[in-house]
Every structure is written in structure tokens, then in C-alpha cells.
């Protein structure tokens, strides 16, 4: 069977279930395609050929016994910030270049229970700090739609890999838009779940109160299937919420008549690309045509403070989380120094990249004596106001619809020397992490040969309604069917 690498999760599952293909055949086809395109895209830090075939053989044995689940035998890419036992986990940093975790993240345990197949670990901005995957210590990932453009970040490797069919689905992590923004840039589906819906155990920490693991997939049905597996309470992560996980695929069977959608004016920011605005307006009109009740005059007034608050809160948490990389316990260690203190200083100087050091310094300054009240404490108060904005909006609306990014993918190198311009890439996604609500990015159109994403935002733990609206839009359009060509 040709083009097995281009299958969706649900199509691959049906073929495996009916025994029309085996997991080994599927995995070999995906690996073959990956090695054909990887030299151009550079989505993966590590490709696990031998492990993938071993996983596939194990999955085929399970299928032969009649033990097949939605993700059984289906190849996946995992962002290299999620711990995988026995497989290198680098965070795309020299600091962890040779780190091999002795344990699996909870999401990996859940995938292993399904007998999944791991194809590789994906490139990212170092320690998830960036919006373009240009901050990797190893190499720059390229956007499959235009190899001169970035794929977004920090989950750029996962998004680019799925866009060009290097796996059937992927996992990413999202601290300020790191799943949704690259999903938008690469024309795929990316979901950031509610904070506490998916365990963070085994996710290398950037900003612990903001980080969430989520799926990056080829369509909304696949997104529902992957979320179904990775969601749920975890005793290893005290921030997960002990709520039952609904059957997300059931939400896909409902229409969206009568669903109230608000369009917050603050997300159509100054400097937004004109074509992106026009595509988003058409997409929202499409939702209205499907029966949704759209209010074009919604407002989240504290949104304008989200960017400033985020770049105090996230670096502050990062400065505390990254203090553990001192060259003593694990990771890179600078040798040949005269004292322990010099060794620790040199380890961080040479082990971290420029963006990571920039954020550590920002965070350390914001937490320092004399500045804590003026910066960090004030940012926490603004966070409360932003969260209250969403609570009030969701008393009136079921869903909010916004751009995922104010622009399409920009050229590699275009913003690398301008951190503030780079930070503005996430202006539409940051408030969602600050409030802890779920959001999904879905393909909504193209301009200049590059994808444009629409972001749908929901109430806490209302991923089912997000998937419902996203699926209805997807089925009424053909944007998710478009595929990049590297020829």
C-alpha cells in the first residue's frame, strides 16, 4: 500500500484493526519517508529506528491477540523535553546533550500502555524558550511549506514533522503558545489542554505554573484520540485535577447550532498581517454559517498586559527551575577549574544558550530583593485580572475565536536579533496559559503559500466543546487536506 506515512491516526487504526497492514509495515514506511525528507526539514534531534521496529513488532503481537487500542502500533514523534527512559532527552541544549533519563514521563507510560511506536525525539527551542526553533543548540528546523521560513516554536520540530508526515502524530509542550503557534505556522492541529488536565510528570520544567503537554496532529479526530489517552489525574503530579476524562470522540458527532462564540477585539492587534485578518474573518463567518451565534464585539480588556506579565512570570519560574543545572548532579559539567563556584559558573556560561541565559537573568532580577514587589508580585496580580477576564467572558460565550498568530511564518533569521519582536509572535497565545484555559489551533486558510491558524479558546476542562467546534469547521473546509511539497 502506497503513502502509508500520510495516514491519519484513525485511518491507520482501521487498517491495523482489519489486518490490512501491520505495524511493522507502517513503521517501516514512516521511517523510510522520514529519512527521505529529514535532511531538508531537520525536525528530529534523535531518530529511534531500532526502537521503533521493536515497538512495532510488540504492537503486532498485541494486535494478533486482539488487544488493539486507538494508538496501538501507530508511530509518534515526541518533543525532546519529555523524558523517555533509555532514549536521549536533550531539551535541544548542550546542557543535556547526552542525558538519558532513567524513567518515562507519565504521558509516555500512557502511550506505552497503548503499545505505541516511538519514531524519534523532535527539535525545539532550547528548554522550550523561543517562538521559532532557532534557539536549538544543535540546528534550525525548517518549515516544510517554505524551507526559508521558521516552523514556529518551541514545538517546531513536532509541528514540522507532522506537517511533512515524518510520523502519524506527535506530542509537544505549551508554555505560552508553543504547541498552537507552530501548529498554525505548519498547517496542522495543535491543542493546549487545560492546566491540570494532562500530567507534567517527566516534562522538563520551564515555567511550572504554565507548562502543559498536548497533541499535534493531522486532523481534529486524531487530536481527540491522542488527548483521550494522555489526559487524566496522576498521583505523581499534584497539579493534575481528579476529574473523569470524557469520551472526546463523542463530541465530534454534534453540530454547533446555538453555540455562542465571542470574537475578542483585543486579539486583532495592531500590526497584524492584513491577509491573516481577512482569513480569520472568513473562518469565523464560516462558523456562523454552521449555526454558531457569533458576537464580533467581545472584549478581554486585560489582554494588553498579558505579554508583559508573561515575560516576568515565566522567566522568574525558569530562573528557579534551571538552577539545578550546576554541573554537579547530571548534564554538562565544565572541568579544569580552581574552585567549585567557578565550575558552576562556567557550566552555566557554556552549557546554556543566549536566550536561556537572557530569561534566567530577567527572572532572577524580577525575583531579587527590592524588585520582587515591583515586578513579580505585580505580574501575579495582573495574572489574576487576566484570569477574571476569561471567567467573565465565559459567562456570556461558550467559545472565543481568535487568530493563533498575528502573522504567517517569518523568515529564518528575521527576528533572531530582536527578542522583543520575537516575543510578540506569541501575543495571541500567552493569555491562555496565564489563565490556564484550553485552546486549539486549526488550519483556517493560506496566504503566500503559508498556512494561517484559527485559535479557539474554551472554558476550563471544556476540551470536548473545543474539539466539537473545531471538527465542524474542519469538515466544512478542506484546509487540513493541504500538504506541503519539498520538491
The distance of Cα 26 from the centroid of its chain, to the nearest Å, equals 25
Phi-psi region of 124 (alpha: psi -120 to 50; beta: other; left: phi over 0): beta
Q: Which three cell numbers stand for residue 143?
A: 518549515
Distances from the Cα of 245 to the Cαs of 69, 227, 302, 333, in angstroms? 17, 9, 31, 43
How far apart, in whole angstroms, are the C-alpha atoms of residue 457 and residue 477?
20
Could you report how far apart the first and last alpha carbons of the chain are, in Å? Answer: 22
Of 407, 477, 466, 422, the C-alpha closest to 441 is 466
Matching residue, cell 513503521: 27
Question: For the residues of 282-337, what is the DSSP string, one character each?
Answer: HHHHHHHHTT-EEEEEE--GGGGGHHHHHHHHHHHHHHHHGGG-SSSSSS----S-
Which region holds residue 193: left if phi is over 0, alpha if psi is between -120 and 50, else beta?
beta
d(CA 423, CA 159) in angstroms, rounded, equals 19
**DSSP letter string over 412-475?**
TTSSTT-HHHHHGGGTTTHHHHHHT--EEEEEEEEETTEEEEEEEEESTT-HHHHHHHHHHHHH
CA 319 – CA 136 distance, rounded (Å): 19
Distance CA 227, CA 235 (A): 18
Active site residues: 79, 154, 178
Amino acid at each position: 500500500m502506497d503513502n502509508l506515512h500520510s495516514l491519519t491516526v484513525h485511518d491507520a487504526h482501521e487498517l491495523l484493526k482489519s489486518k490490512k497492514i501491520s505495524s511493522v509495515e507502517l513503521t517501516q514506511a514512516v521511517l523510510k519517508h522520514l529519512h527521505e525528507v529529514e535532511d531538508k526539514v531537520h525536525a528530529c534531534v534523535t531518530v529511534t529506528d531500532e526502537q521503533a521496529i521493536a515497538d512495532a513488532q510488540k504492537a503486532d503481537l498485541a494486535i494478533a491477540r486482539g488487544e488493539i487500542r486507538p494508538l496501538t502500533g501507530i508511530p509518534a514523534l515526541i518533543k525532546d523535553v519529555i523524558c523517555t527512559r533509555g532514549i536521549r532527552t536533550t531539551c535541544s541544549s548542550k546542557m543535556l546533550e547526552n542525558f538519558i533519563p532513567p524513567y518515562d514521563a507519565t504521558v509516555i507510560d500512557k502511550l506505552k500502555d497503548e503499545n505505541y511506536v516511538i519514531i524519534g525525539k523532535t527539535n525545539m527551542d532550547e528548554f522550550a524558550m523561543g517562538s521559532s526553533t532557532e534557539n536549538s543548540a544543535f540546528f534550525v528546523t525548517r518549515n516544510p511549506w517554505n524551507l526559508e521560513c521558521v516552523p514556529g516554536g518551541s514545538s517546531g520540530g513536532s509541528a514540522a514533522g507532522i506537517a511533512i508526515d515524518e510520523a502519524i502524530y506527535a506530542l509537544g509542550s505549551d508554555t505560552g503558545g508553543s504547541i498552537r503557534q507552530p501548529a498554525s505556522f505548519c498547517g496542522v492541529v495543535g491543542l493546549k489542554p487545560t492546566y491540570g488536565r494532562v500530567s507534567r510528570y517527566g516534562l522538563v520544567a520551564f515555567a511550572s505554573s504554565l507548562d502543559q503537554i498536548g497533541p499535534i496532529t493531522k486532523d481534529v479526530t486524531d487530536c481527540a484520540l491522542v488527548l483521550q489517552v494522555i489526559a487524566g489525574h496522576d498521583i505523581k503530579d499534584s497539579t493534575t485535577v481528579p476529574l473523569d476524562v470524557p469520551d472526546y470522540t463523542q463530541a465530534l458527532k454534534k453540530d454547533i447550532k446555538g453555540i455562542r462564540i465571542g470574537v475578542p477585539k483585543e486579539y486583532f492587534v495592531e500590526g497584524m498581517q492584513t491577509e491573516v485578518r481577512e482569513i480569520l474573518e472568513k473562518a469565523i463567518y464560516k462558523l456562523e454559517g454552521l449555526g454558531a451565534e457569533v458576537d464580533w464585539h467581545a472584549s478581554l480588556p486585560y489582554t494588553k498586559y498579558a505579554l508583559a506579565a508573561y515575560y516576568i512570570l515565566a522567566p522568574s519560574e525558569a530562573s528557579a527551575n534551571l538552577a539545578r543545572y550546576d554541573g554537579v548532579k547530571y548534564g554538562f559539567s565544565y572541568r579544569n577549574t580552581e574552585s567549585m563556584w567557578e565550575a558552576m559558573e562556567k557550566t552555566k556560561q557554556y552549557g546554556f544558550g543566549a536566550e536561556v541565559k537572557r530569561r534566567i537573568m530577567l527572572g532572577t532580577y524580577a525575583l531579587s530583593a527590592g524588585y520582587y514587589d515591583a515586578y513579580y508580585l505585580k505580574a501575579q496580580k495582573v495574572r489574576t485580572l487576566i484570569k477574571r477576564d476569561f471567567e467573565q467572558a465565559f459567562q456570556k460565550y461558550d467559545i472565543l475565536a481568535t487568530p493563533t498568530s498575528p502573522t504567517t511564518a517569518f523568515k529564518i533569521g528575521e527576528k533572531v536579533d530582536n527578542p522583543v519582536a520575537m516575543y510578540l509572535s506569541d501575543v495571541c497565545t500567552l493569555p491562555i496559559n496565564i489563565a490556564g484555559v484550553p485552546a486549539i489551533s486549526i488550519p483556517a486558510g493560506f496566504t503566500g503559500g503559508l498556512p494561517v491558524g484559527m485559535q479557539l479558546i474554551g472554558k476550563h476542562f471544556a476540551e470536548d466543546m473545543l474539539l466539537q467546534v473545531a471538527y465542524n469547521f474542519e469538515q466544512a473546509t478542506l484546509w487540513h487536506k493541504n500538504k506541503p511539497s519539498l520538491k
